[in-house]
């Protein structure tokens, strides 16, 4: 708890990054205002994996029990071949993550994580959450603080602006002028299946990663095991609406992307195609890894989450890095408003190399996942020989 005068923290964006920042800063005793552009706080209907590096922070914020009550602790991470169905490698998760890293590995519905963060935020004192309020501009003055302009021309003053406005952040340019995110050339197809609609042998409480040439598929249970989240990621043409997370996609497009598959994977893909929503597609974008602290802040403006460092989802850490950012930011914030700029430099200095490494590693993982020919054979051999040692990520979770 901050025993001296609290700062007024203004947060643009009420996604996972913005809400996590609100929780962290309110826990540290600051005054928090979150401005979300949409009329309601919402999250897409997809799953999210939370490594022990993230669940440890949720525990510090007293939110782990609430998240865990809605999540699943999968038994293991299982890597299989899309075509033969053969197991390529395995890493135990349940129990092992706790024993080795001091916190569990969880899979959760994004909306459930988002709802827990929102409930945790609202429980804390001196927090104001505003929906239907887009931040359209901000000015930063060393003595006066930051002044936001909202879409209805209302002005709001504070000590810090956290730009957590996502991949297509407009506020990013206050700290970093590097143009728009770049299309990776991949499309993600997602579906949520009622677990009871799957044959019993396809209901494993595991994170299963299926690897094939130019494609991979990830499936895991969420919402206490009630739903199975499935995501197919493959090279693909740009979609009609690059901003939309929910472009409808016919099942045949998914099969075309995946190619020939084994019986087990076909069973899951068929069940996904038969759900009410069917397959929903979105295009993937990222940015090059963060190059230094100056890319994460300027003056009293801090960039956080996808606004700061969008990444490919092949290490399942985008939201995790946002939660780590939020924790780091709250740790360095001063009680003296005149010291904000120095403290944001500290935040940027703590975070930039870590997120750059995760961005880089996520990209490399994509190349390994989608490998073909000799590279693919080498990958499978390495996994057979090194097993869990190759799959575990102590540098990330520890
Ligand atoms: C296929 C896929 C799988 C993934 N799996 C995982 C995973 O397993 N684990 C993991 O950790 N991460 C995963 N991620 C990454 C993760 O989803 C993102 O990194 C994370 O959701 C980003 O959150 P955010 O709050 O920064 O951005 P967003 O969720 O985009 O939120 C930004 C918010 O800001 C609002 N906003 C925008 N502009 C304004 C404005 N001007 N004023 C006010 N509000 C504004 C938006 O409406 C939105 O609510 C995955 C991503 C993909 C694509």
In whole angstroms, what is the distance from residue 243 CA to residue 3 CA?
43
> Do 256 and 156 lie in a common domain?
no
Catalytic residue among 105, 220, 314, 347: 220
Say what the pLDDT of residue 3 is.
46
pLDDT one digit per residue (tens) for the chain, 398 residues: 444 579 999 999 999 999 999 999 999 999 999 999 999 998 887 999 999 999 999 999 999 999 999 999 999 999 999 999 999 999 999 999 999 999 999 999 999 999 999 999 999 999 999 999 999 999 998 788 999 999 999 999 999 999 999 999 999 999 999 999 999 999 999 999 999 999 999 999 999 999 999 999 999 999 999 999 999 999 987 777 777 777 888 889 999 999 999 999 999 999 999 999 899 999 999 999 999 999 999 999 999 999 999 999 999 999 999 999 999 999 999 989 999 999 999 999 999 999 999 999 999 999 999 999 999 999 999 999 998 999 999 999 99
Ligand 1 site, residue 324, Cβ cutoff 6 A: no
188-197 exposure pattern, b = at least 16 Cβ within 10 A, e = fewer: bbbbbbebee
Q: Are residues 202 and 242 in the same domain?
A: yes
Q: Give pLDDT, residue 142.
A: 78
Residue 229: the pLDDT is 97
Tell me, yes or no, whether 175 lies in a domain. yes
Q: 195: which 2 tokens?
A: 């677990």
In a shared domain, residues 195 and 259: yes
76 touches ligand 1 (CB under 6 Å): no
Residue 134: predicted pLDDT: 98
Question: Whole-structure pTM over 0.75, yes or no?
Answer: yes
Is the shortest distance between the CB of 214 and ligand 1 below 6 Å?
A: no
Position of tokens 């510090």?
Answer: 60
Residue 230 lies in a domain: yes
Instruction: Tell me: do 332 and 377 sit in the same domain.
Output: no
Cα 17 to ligand 1 centre (Å): 7
CATH of the domain at 162: 3.50.50.60
pLDDT at 242: 72
Task: Please tell me the residue having the least CA distance from ligand 1 atom 30.
Answer: 166
Å from CA of 375 to ligand 1 middle: 32
CA distance 33 to 55: 24
Q: Would 97 be classed as within a structural domain? A: no
Does residue 101 carry a catalytic annotation? Answer: no
Instruction: Supply the range of the domain harboring residue 314.
Output: 8-74+106-180+287-365
- Yes or no: say if 107 and 125 are a contact pair by the CB < 8 Å rule: no
* Residue 340 Cα to ligand 1 middle (Å): 26
260/344 same-domain check: no
Same domain, 295 and 345: yes
With a 6 A CB cut-off, is 317 part of the ligand 1 pocket? yes
Whether residue 301 is found in the same domain as residue 388: no
Q: Are residues 270 and 304 in the same domain?
A: no
Spacing, Cα 167 to ligand 1 middle (Å): 7
Which alpha helices (DSSP H) does the chain contain, by range? 16-27, 52-60, 64-70, 96-101, 110-123, 251-258, 263-273, 318-332, 340-369, 373-386, 388-391, 394-397
Q: Same structural domain for residues 328 and 381?
A: no
């Amino acid at each position: 708890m901050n025993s001296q005068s609290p700062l007024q923290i203004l947060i643009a964006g009420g996604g996972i990054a913005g809400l996590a920042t609100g929780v962290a800063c309110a826990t540290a005793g600051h005054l928090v205002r979150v401005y979300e552009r949409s009329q309601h706080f919402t999250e897409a209907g997809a799953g999210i994996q939370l490594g022990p590096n993230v669940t440890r922070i949720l525990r510090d914020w007293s939110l782990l029990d609430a998240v865990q009550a809605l999540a699943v602790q999968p038994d293991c991470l299982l890597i299989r071949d899309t075509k033969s169905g053969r197991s390529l490698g395995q890493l135990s998760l349940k129990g092992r993550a706790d024993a080795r890293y001091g916190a569990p590995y969880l899979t959760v519905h994004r909306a459930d994580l988002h709802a827990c963060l929102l409930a945790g935020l609202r429980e804390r004192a001196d927090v104001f959450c505003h929906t239907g309020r887009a931040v359209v501009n901000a000015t930063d003055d060393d003595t006066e603080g930051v002044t936001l302009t909202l879409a209805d021309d209302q002005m709001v003053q504070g000590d810090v602006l956290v730009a957590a406005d996502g991949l297509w952040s407009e506020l990013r340019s206050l700290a970093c002028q590097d143009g728009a995110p770049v299309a990776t050339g991949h499309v993600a197809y997602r579906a949520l299946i009622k677990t009871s609609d799957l044959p019993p042998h396809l209901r494993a409480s595991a994170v299963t990663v299926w690897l094939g040439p130019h494609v991979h598929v990830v499936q895991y249970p969420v919402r206490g095991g009630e739903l199975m989240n499935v995501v197919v990621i493959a090279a693909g043409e740009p979609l009609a609406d690059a901003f939309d997370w929910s472009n409808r996609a016919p099942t045949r497009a998914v099969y075309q992307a995946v190619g020939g598959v084994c019986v087990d994977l076909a069973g899951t893909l068929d069940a996904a195609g038969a759900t009410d929503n069917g397959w929903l597609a979105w295009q993937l974008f990222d940015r090059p890894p963060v190059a230094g602290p100056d890319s994460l802040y300027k003056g009293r403006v801090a960039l956080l989450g996808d606004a700061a460092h969008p990444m490919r989802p092949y290490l399942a850490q985008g939201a995790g890095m946002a939660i780590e950012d939020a924790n780091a930011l709250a740790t360095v914030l001063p009680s003296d408003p005149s010291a904000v700029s120095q403290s944001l430099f500290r935040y940027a200095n703590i975070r930039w190399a870590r997120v750059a490494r995760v961005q880089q590693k996520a990209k490399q993982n994509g190349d390994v996942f989608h490998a073909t020919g000799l590279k693919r054979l080498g990958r499978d051999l390495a996994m057979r020989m090194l097993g869990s040692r190759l799959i575990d990520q102590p540098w990330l979770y520890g």
